[in-house]
Chains A and B, each alone.
Chain A
Amino acid sequence: DGGITQSPKYLFRKEGQNVTLSCEQNLNHDAMYWYRQDPGQGLRLIYYSQIVNDFQKGDIAEGYSVSREKKESFPLTVTSAQKNPTAFYLCASSPGQSSIGDEQFFGPGTRLTVL
């Protein structure tokens, strides 16, 4: 079955540590996205990539980094520079490189908690 997988489901990090969240898709989609979800707020865009080896900052990119070396993979690193990283992180993908009407397909999410 085609879809998006995120791992791990739950992740715990000590303050000062970097941590990488995995996102893989087998939908053959060009575009991939990372969102952060906090209680009482909608999803906020961290980074997005419309093609391999290229990505752009979203609205809240500070303290995060990404790479897009393969079409199917878009890992997110939460660095120690991120002041409040505890949140629910969602990865998504969509078919086209710049089609504004495309549906985004979401993964199951990763819950990150900083201890």
Chain B
Amino acid sequence: AQTVTQSQPEMSVQEAETVTLSCTYDTSENNYYLFWYKQPPSRQMILVIRQEAYKQQNATENRFSVNFQKAAKSFSLKISDSQLGDTAMYFCAFSDYKLSFGAGTTVTVRA
């Protein structure tokens, strides 16, 4: 399995503020995808955002955006205008022919 590292076990952010989650990975592959998945307290996993390694442009989905640095093997997630519903565990994942997940970062949004 590929190694995916999320160095922040927990983060807390005030509602309407911005929070950035870090993720690094280790691979010798050139063709791969990177994902951020969200797992709220219900434990239902939901895709947040996806990035193809060949695309230089960073992916954006509404309030969620990534900073993909291929040479540094870094893939951070920025949540802008945080909402209470963003409270969840966030997993970074790497895909070549199967998904490898990081350990997750628990994000708590404070009212």
Q: Interface residues, chain A, CB within 8 Å of chain B?
A: 33, 40-45, 48, 58-59, 88, 90, 92, 98, 100-101, 103-104, 106, 108-109
CB of A100 within 8 A of CB of B44, answer no
Report A-chain residues with C-beta under 8 Å of the C-beta of B98.
33, 45, 48, 58
* Given known contacts A42-B91, A42-B102, A90 and B45 CB-to-CB distance under 8 angstroms: yes
A44 contacts across to B, CB distance below 8 A: 1, 101
Are the CB atoms of B95 and A41 closer together than 8 Å? no
**Given the complex, which residues of B lie within 8 Å of A90, measured CB to CB?**
45
B64 adjacent to chain A (CB < 8 Å): no
Chain B neighbourhood of A100, CB < 8 A? 31-33, 95-97
B95 to chain A, nearest CB (A): 5
List 8 other contacts, CB 8 Å, given A44-B1, A101-B95, A103-B50: A41-B104, A42-B102, A43-B91, A100-B32, A100-B96, A101-B33, A106-B45, A108-B44
**Could you tell me the distance in whole angstroms from the C-beta of B85 to the nearest C-beta in chain A?**
18
Using an 8 Å CB-CB cutoff, how does the interface string of B49-87 with A read, 1 for contact, 0 for none?
A: 010100000000000000000000000000000000000
Report yes or no: A103 in contact with B47, Cβ–Cβ below 8 A. Answer: yes
Distance of A58 Cα from B10 Cα, bound (Å):
28
Please measure, in the bound complex, the distance between the C-alpha atom of A41 and the C-alpha atom of B100, giving whole angstroms: 12
